[in-house]
Amino acid sequence: MDTQADTRIFDQLESEVRSYCRMWPAVFTKAQGHTLTAEDGREYLDFFAGAGALNYGHNNPKLKEQLVEYIQKDGVTHSLDMMTEAKREFLQTLDDVVLSPRGLDYKVMLPGPTGTNAVEAALKLARLVTGRTNVLAFTNAFHGMTLGSLAVTGNGSKRAGAGVPLSNVTRMPFHRYLGETDTIDLLEQHLDDSSSGVDKPAALILETVQAEGGINIATNPWLRRLQNLLKRHEILLIVDDIQVGCGRTGKFFSFEAANLDPDIVCLSKSLSGYGVPLSVTMFRRELDVWEPGKHNGTFRGHNLAFVTATAALNEYWRDDELTKAVGRKSSTVQETLHSLADEYGAQVRGRGMINGIEFETPEVAPLISQAAFERGLLVETAGANDQVVKLIPPLTIDEDELARGLGLLEECVHDAHREVAVAS
Amino acid sequence: MDTQADTRIFDQLESEVRSYCRMWPAVFTKAQGHTLTAEDGREYLDFFAGAGALNYGHNNPKLKEQLVEYIQKDGVTHSLDMMTEAKREFLQTLDDVVLSPRGLDYKVMLPGPTGTNAVEAALKLARLVTGRTNVLAFTNAFHGMTLGSLAVTGNGSKRAGAGVPLSNVTRMPFHRYLGETDTIDLLEQHLDDSSSGVDKPAALILETVQAEGGINIATNPWLRRLQNLLKRHEILLIVDDIQVGCGRTGKFFSFEAANLDPDIVCLSKSLSGYGVPLSVTMFRRELDVWEPGKHNGTFRGHNLAFVTATAALNEYWRDDELTKAVGRKSSTVQETLHSLADEYGAQVRGRGMINGIEFETPEVAPLISQAAFERGLLVETAGANDQVVKLIPPLTIDEDELARGLGLLEECVHDAHREVAVAS
Amino acid sequence: MDTQADTRIFDQLESEVRSYCRMWPAVFTKAQGHTLTAEDGREYLDFFAGAGALNYGHNNPKLKEQLVEYIQKDGVTHSLDMMTEAKREFLQTLDDVVLSPRGLDYKVMLPGPTGTNAVEAALKLARLVTGRTNVLAFTNAFHGMTLGSLAVTGNGSKRAGAGVPLSNVTRMPFHRYLGETDTIDLLEQHLDDSSSGVDKPAALILETVQAEGGINIATNPWLRRLQNLLKRHEILLIVDDIQVGCGRTGKFFSFEAANLDPDIVCLSKSLSGYGVPLSVTMFRRELDVWEPGKHNGTFRGHNLAFVTATAALNEYWRDDELTKAVGRKSSTVQETLHSLADEYGAQVRGRGMINGIEFETPEVAPLISQAAFERGLLVETAGANDQVVKLIPPLTIDEDELARGLGLLEECVHDAHREVAVAS
Amino acid sequence: MDTQADTRIFDQLESEVRSYCRMWPAVFTKAQGHTLTAEDGREYLDFFAGAGALNYGHNNPKLKEQLVEYIQKDGVTHSLDMMTEAKREFLQTLDDVVLSPRGLDYKVMLPGPTGTNAVEAALKLARLVTGRTNVLAFTNAFHGMTLGSLAVTGNGSKRAGAGVPLSNVTRMPFHRYLGETDTIDLLEQHLDDSSSGVDKPAALILETVQAEGGINIATNPWLRRLQNLLKRHEILLIVDDIQVGCGRTGKFFSFEAANLDPDIVCLSKSLSGYGVPLSVTMFRRELDVWEPGKHNGTFRGHNLAFVTATAALNEYWRDDELTKAVGRKSSTVQETLHSLADEYGAQVRGRGMINGIEFETPEVAPLISQAAFERGLLVETAGANDQVVKLIPPLTIDEDELARGLGLLEECVHDAHREVAVAS
């Protein structure tokens, strides 16, 4: 452990709200690809990737080159929603590389640079377009911390942080929330029954994979049934692809595998590719009922992020190499997890490079995470009770390093189970 | 006008919500200090400064040097709330340069990198600490676009964007909202009267200068009376210093002149110094009731912004040179505005380097802004009906260039009045 | 049809919100027991009983006698919550006849004389006691029209009448809302999962039989499982026994059969016994956290209703004759309904003297109701689409007259099916 | 004091929420005109009149005769919104005696029999008609206890009873809330300023005299300015005439003196004339956008109340005798109050037969009320701190008895001031 690190100013000055620094008590100084280096020189293999913000690794050299060049030539840094060269490049590349090839006729809104800005803009738009106030959200959903996004988020502690009741949202059970019961039956009944007490919603907001919620995976048939039901009732579908978009599940969007065509899509986290703040809210062209300035934000024109985002799209999404690599690495991860599940009893869940394992002894998860840190591996837990070990390495990680990390993980799993066995 | 600029992708792809690009239809490629350069080579003198996000000018060379060096050495870019060297430097410098010298025993929270994140966190905290849901906000206030911040914002069009009723807020008239009536009398009566129907609030959120609201200035005695009243009722005072902090009014905080000691302070915009997203919510140590992770956000550890923010504090706030310069430049601006007011009839309002003029013919303001753009000067309008010409140049602008800009402005004022006279 | 009735003033002056008078376009002048007499002398057999407000029939002679005597001796009529002799008699009788024999150590609150007053008071109390804002309510529930009660009601048209979003309520599927799925599984999962997004509720509000909702019956085991789950989570159970209390299901309270001991109980409708406004909210002694006057209401001391309520309790609830009679009559009704179901295909639902039949051809229900009126029988429809024929005669109806009414109903069912068959 | 009264069942069974019985600890058995008689034979002169529900005195003999006759002939008692003879008479008489002579082309809605039902219906309708959610309400307003009405009520303790935040209401200062400042200036500024943060309201709800709030009187010019402002902004005016309608201020409606023509009017309390529950919500014909059954209520057809209401209208409102009598008696009351004010220093407020006095020593008011009870006079206090002695005798009180009561009051005022003087 990084016992020598000077953490005094954090302890003294920073709010008690801080959290990751408690789990990983090192002061980091350097980052490259899948490696974070602490002040004492210790290196950590990063299977956490900025909670999904670093799909292409830390300080990706190809993006870095573009970024430094742009800064050095005094490209515009801050521009609100003025037009800049960097923004033009970004929009054009987004269209050429992402939207047009997928036949998505979307308008793009820059709602402010964080995920919660994107979700708030999506919710506003859905309500404005439909004139309805209610929105459907799923159990265990995570969409952000500002009041609109928090209202659709499931986590009880975070919801309690609001200090006011969170309203205008109806909660629906996610896929497999009730074992084998198809939870869409309930939604369908609610929508078909005019006395259900569920006011007709403007939209449903969906994560196809609930990442923070515990790596809960919606299957493709379920997703398609869901979208069909919404279309029949003229309810908009918002996909929050903030954590699992940008290739995390293999394809650029997580909903491509199920062939969905969402009305509104939110992207952030890995969108800039470099870990700097950027987000977009995209929606079907005919939904663009916004009046000029009706939503704004100081940092909605973050040009440094446009530059790295453009570079990332050019580098990784003009062909399907990354998608294929995700497929291969996914198999590697799944293999390890299933073998651990065979040994200890566990549920393995995942798609692409977001994978999780929930052991029959749920309290091992935090122990595994802690043991991993001690061995130089960063893995976090997810789920309502931190009962799921969550693996989200950079998509670009070397296969060798991936294997090394999985080996470390196995050791930690063994240790944690031993520890629990001894304690009980 | 920049008629040759290729704006097709903006027109085709970007949402109708975009606004500044309509007023200033150029594609900008370069920025330095107080100058923005468009693709066609035209230079614009920037009296707008990123709506207050660029107090030290565009791409400030001293900050840029630190930024590039940090990127090049692969300093950590993205870290959530993990500990990093850059964050430690930032916290230490903030304490040494800003908090300690002013005797402010604040805890610092990194609530996400935008202003609205900071306001949402402040509102949550005030409600959590007091167990009350109501919050007081002023007429013409501007605090952000996410649902919590939007509820305290006054602008009707932006509020309508919510698509749901905005609640848990009681509106109070700002200073001089009712001419000579002291509006604190109403607040006092509301608070003293248990049947006023105004539920005892957790906090009042205050801009000492309402920037977006039309450069409305609260006087020091009024501010002190306000704070005393709140203290008597144990209501927290939140100062939203996002637009007028970081030296805009001369001192680092806008509330220093009135000797306030707010319970909670929000900073963003110019905090990073470089136009990149960063914000903090700071509060009295004893209010830090946050539990770990009760509020979070992917980009709350934006290290590039920590680097430039640290550089800005070191460069500009270790002495009072900038404060003095703001004083001098303020006089220059005020002199011009008062001379225009003498000529045309107008109300001049302002403090430090945020100044505005509202002519007796309110419809000249947009014409002035447009004429300015044509002359190579960026100035925006503010107020409910865009009736105020708002001047917020970088604090670091050369005095010559300031004078040149004011000269251009005078021409525009003459032209706009002529135009209106002809039309009527 | 009552074509000669002078209905001009209703048409001209009364709001379009009126409804029953459209279904039954007669002007009624006299009422006795199970018979309503129209101006033209036509008599109607009343299988509707004031929507459950007339369990002892119209103008019950034993109650009437007491009422007239009280009025004639100038007993206090209106007294807010002052003490009166009539109120003392009522409270004492309620205790002696209802509460004590059932071992219910309840406090009694007079919240205003209508059902919705009683529900609003119950919701307030549950929220005050627990400090929680959320309340659970069921699909197809009906609890009243004022904003608090309407928020827990399911009917979409009535909810839309609010003109504001209805909040602080989470909707749960009632028994058999999803066929064989035990809907308590969902509730249990919501409550056990801290990230379900369902904020821990103050209370659940329950009708053991959903009357307006379509005669949906909760079984005893389901009710017991529900109460156990709530107790485990320290969530209060409110039973709204407004429509099915006062003997409608046989016992005085509808929840006696399942052996529930609710925390809060609401009564109204047949409580006064005479069709005059009266309601009570009763709750476990230790929940009485009310401060004096924190809830009030001008007509909370309606002494004429106290007089008739006392008489009704004395007359009908000092022995179990009425309960037994309900049992016998219930069998008669069920027999007829099942024979109709055998003939036409239908679902028969009911307990005690609240019974309904939902035919496979749902559109026959309104035709049956209309045909019944023409034959001199008042029956209404219930359910989200008026698809259920609902039978709630006075409990005191003669067995002969009950049989006669059922005979008329059979004719109407035949006719309505013929009519539908011809039309299709 | 009524020390012998058997109050055990009240103490044991009734909720702590009860209040008047604490101030007046007698058990009342009989009531006639302005006299309440307790069990021990003691008579009380009633200057309280059921909080305004007994404008024609207790058990008014002319109304009683009609009531008994109707009951004895088995007139329909309970009818929901079916048509009955008694309801027809009521509607016709209301039109003939009240609406037509005043040129009011209103539709009449029977929203349930209590005041809060009437207010809830008014608020719903205003929101439905305009499509807006916000409503304006005044400081110190009192409109009822159900959630919609409570949201527009000012009293802090009662608001806290809700257990949820009360929303969709903006509070405005009533006339003279800020001394000589015309509070309509604030409202006007709020409405004219699109960035005031006060969302355009559906309606404003007004008591022309705030009774519970402390006998606060709006002057006629202020009321007219208010209505003109609302008309200019197309905001509906709801007059809640529940406490001060039915002749309390002289004319039938309290707004007649100021020549207002409200869009919506609520009546209850003295509407039935006999202290039994009845209320109406009336509105301009073109506002009747209700769909059948969109608002309902079990006791909206309370025929006993229709009978007495009809009798009251016929008896008292076919000529202006009552109005004239109110004028005379008002002078008598005012004379006494002013003479007390001269002696002790006090503010006298009132119109017609609702009058109040607020002494410079506010703590005397409860002492006066208590002393009065001991002398056989019922008077209550009003205002946020019970600082106003409130006089609302039956309008029909004998002039002698009125004088006698005022004499008793004077004695109480002397005693109370002596008591306070001694204590201090």
The verdict on C161 touching A (C-beta cutoff 8 Å) is no
The answer to the question of residue A80 being in a domain is: yes
D294 and C112: CB-CB below 8 Å?
no
In a domain, B250, yes or no: yes
Residue A4 has pLDDT above 80, yes or no: no
Which among D50, D91, D151 is the nearest to C80, CB-wise? D50
Q: Which of B302, B296, B275 is nearest to A275 (CA)?
A: B302
**Neighbours, chain C (3 or more CB pairs < 8 A):** A, B, D
Q: What gap in Å lies between CA C318 and CA D211, rounded to an integer? A: 44
With CB atoms and an 8 Å threshold, state whether C154 touches A200.
no
Task: Tell whether B165 is within 8 A of chain C (Cβ).
Answer: yes
DSSP state string for A176-212: TTTTTS-THHHHHHHHH-TTSS-PPPSEEEE-SEETT
CA C412 to chain centre: 25
**D67 found inside a domain:** no
Give every CB contact of residue B254 below 8 A, 6+ residues apart in sequence. B208, B209, B239, B241, B244, B245, B248, B351
Closest C-chain CA to D31: C76
Is residue B222 scored above 50 in pLDDT? yes
| Chains interfacing with A (3 or more CB pairs < 8 Å) | B, C, D
- Out of A289, A316, A343, pick the residue that ends a domain: A316
Domain membership flag for residue C68: no
Structural domains of chain B, count = 2
Q: Do A76 and B120 touch (CB under 8 A)?
A: no
Q: What integer pLDDT is reported at residue B1 of this predicted model?
A: 42
A75: β partners: B30
- Secondary structure class of A44 (helix, strand, coil): strand
Contacts of A164 in chain D (CB under 8 A): 165
Give the number of C-alpha atoms closer than 13 A to the C-alpha of residue B176, restricted to the C-beta side: 12
Summarised one tens digit per residue, pLDDT across range A283-317 is 999 999 999 999 999 999 999 999 999 999 999 99
- Domain presence at residue A116: yes
pLDDT at residue A2 greater than cutoff 50 = no
Tokens of D246: 């039915």
HEC profile of chain B: CCCCCCCHHHHHHECCCCCHHHHCCCEEEEEEECEEEECCCCEEEECCHHHHCCCCCECCHHHHHHHHHHHHCCECCECCCCEEHHHHHHHHHHHHHHHHHHCCCEEEECCCCCHHHHHHHHHHHHHHHHCCCCEEEECCCCCCCCHHHHHHCCCHHHHHCCCCCCCCEEEECCCCCCCCCCCHHHHHHHHHCCCCCCCCCCEEEECCEECCCCCEECCHHHHHHHHHHHHHCCCEEEEECCCCCCCCCCCCCCCCCCCCCCCEEEECHHHCCCCCCCCEEEEEHHHCCCCCCCCCCCCCCEHHHHHHHHHHHHHHCCCCHHHHHHHHHHHHHHHHHHHHHHHHCEEEEEECCEEEEEECCCCHHHHHHHHHHHCCEECEEECCCCCEEEECCCCCCCHHHHHHHHHHHHHHHHHHHHHHHHHC
The last residue of a domain, from among A316, A341, A356: A316
Could you report the per-residue pLDDT of C275-289, keeping only the tens digit for each? 999 999 999 999 999
**C148 and C296 inside one domain:** yes
pLDDT at residue B424, as a whole number: 78
pLDDT band of D4, cuts 50, 70, 90: low
Least confident of A419-423, B19-23, D23-27, D363-367: A419-423
What are B152-184's pLDDT values in tens digits?
Answer: 999 999 999 999 999 999 999 999 999 999 999
- Same domain flag for B341 and B404: yes
Say if D164 is an interface residue toward chain A (CB within 8 Å): yes
Same domain membership, residue D83 and residue D209: yes
| Range with lowest mean pLDDT among A7-16, B169-178, C391-400, D3-12 | D3-12
Place of tokens 């008590």: A25
D205 & D312 share domain: yes
Which class for A292: exposed (0-12), middle (13-18), buried (19 or more C-beta within 10 A)? Answer: middle
Residue B343: closest CA among B354, B331, B357, B353: B357
**Average pLDDT over every residue of C59-72:** 98
pLDDT at site B74: 98
Phi and psi at residue D381, to the nearest 5°: -105, 160
- Please report residues of C whose CB lies closer than 8 A to that of D302: 276-277
Residue with tokens 């600082």: D387
Contact flag D154-B196 (C-beta cutoff 8 Å) = yes
Pairing of strands D354-359, D388-391: antiparallel
Partner-chain contact D155 B195, CB within 8 Å: yes
Tell me if chain A has a CB within 8 Å of the CB of C144. no
- Angle (CA) A288-A292-A294 rounded to 5° is 85
Nearest-Cα residue of chain C relative to residue D28: C84
Chain D contact for A195, CB < 8 A?
no
Residue C331 belongs to a domain with what CATH number?
3.90.1150.10
Q: Are A299 and A82 in contact (CB under 8 A)?
A: no
D216 and D330 share one domain = no
Residue D1 pLDDT > 70, yes or no? no
pLDDT tens sequence across A57-95: 999 999 999 999 999 999 999 999 999 999 999 999 999
Mean pLDDT of A108-128: 98
CA distances to B183, B242, B257, B313, D159 from B239, rounded to whole Å, are: 18, 9, 13, 20, 29
Mean pLDDT for D104-128 is: 98
| pTM confidence score | 0.97
Residues of B in contact with C294 (CB under 8 A): none
Q: In this structure, are A279 and A162 located in the same domain?
A: yes
Say yes or no: A131 contacts chain D, CB-CB below 8 A: no
> For residue A389, what are the CA distances in angstroms to A214, B149, C277, D383?
8, 35, 60, 61
What is the residue-averaged pLDDT of chain C?
97
Tell me: do B143 and B271 sit in the same domain: yes
* Nearest Cα residue to C121 out of C277, C268, C325: C268
Residue D266 and residue D381 in one domain: no
Residue D383, chain B, CB below 8 Å: the answer is yes
Kindly state whether C160 is in contact with chain D, defined as any CB-CB distance less than 8 angstroms.
yes
Tell me which of C127, C194, C196 to substitute to probe the interface with A (most A C-beta atoms closer than 10 Å). Answer: C196
Q: Is residue B45 part of a domain?
A: yes
Q: B153 and D194 in contact by Cβ < 8 A?
A: no
Three-class HEC string of C131-157: CCCCEEEECCCCCCCCHHHHHHCCCHH
Are A240 and A304 members of one domain?
yes
- Which residue type does A350 have? G
Kindly list the partner chains of chain D, i.e. chains with 3 or more CB atom pairs below 8 Å.
Answer: A, B, C
In percent, the amount of chain A with pLDDT more than 90 equals 96
Spatial neighbors of A207 by CB under 8 A, at least 6 apart, are A138, A141, A142, A143, A213, A239, A240, A241, A243, A244
- The number of residues in chain C equals 424
Q: What percent of chain C has pLDDT above 70?
A: 99
Closest-CA residue of chain A to C143 = A197
Tell me whether residues B77 and A148 touch, CB distance under 8 A: no
* Residues of A with Cβ-Cβ distance to B58 under 8 angstroms: 74, 76-78
| Average pLDDT score over residue span C282-301 | 97
Q: C83 and D5 in contact by Cβ < 8 A?
A: yes
pLDDT at B5: 76
- CATH code where residue B253 lies: 3.40.640.10
Subunits close to B (at least 3 CB pairs below 8 A): A, C, D
List of chain D residues whose C-beta atoms are within 8 Å of the C-beta of residue A165: 164-165
- CA dist., res. D74 & res. C29, Å (int): 8
In a domain, D65, yes or no: no
Indicate if D86 and D122 belong to the same structural domain.
yes
Cβ of A296 under 8 Å from any chain C Cβ? no
Taking the CA of residue A317 and the nearest CA in chain C, the distance in Å comes to: 35
> Which chain A residues touch D164 with a CB distance below 8 Å?
165
Q: How many Cα atoms are found within 13 Å in the side-chain-facing hemisphere of B150?
A: 26
**Euclidean distance between CA atoms D110 and D296, whole angstroms:** 9
Size of interface A-B (CB pairs under 8 A): 375
Q: Which of D181, D195, D385 sits opposite B155 (nearest CB)?
A: D195
Q: Using one digit for the tens of pLDDT, what is the confidence trace for B259-271?
A: 999 999 999 999 9
Taking phi over 0 as left and psi of -120 to 50 as alpha, with beta for the rest, B46 belongs to beta
* pLDDT of amino acid C1: 42
In terms of Cα–Cα distance, which of A327, A383, A325 is closest to A356?
A: A383
Specify if D64 maps to a domain: no
Q: How many CB pairs under 8 A join B and D?
A: 123
In this predicted structure, the answer to whether residue C155 has a pLDDT above a threshold of 90 is: yes
Q: What is the pLDDT of residue D190?
A: 97
b/e per residue, B213-241, with b = 16+ CB within 10 A? bbbbbbeeebbebbbebbeeeebbbbbbb
B241 plus B342 within the same structural domain: no
Q: Which of the residues D135, D176, D184, D196 would you substitute to probe the B interface, choosing the one with the greatest number of B C-beta atoms within 10 Å?
A: D196
- Structural domain of C256: 75-316
Under an 8 A CB cutoff, do B139 and D196 touch?
yes
- pLDDT of C4 above 80: no
Where is the domain boundary, A300, A316, A332?
Answer: A316
Residues D85 and D199 in one domain: yes
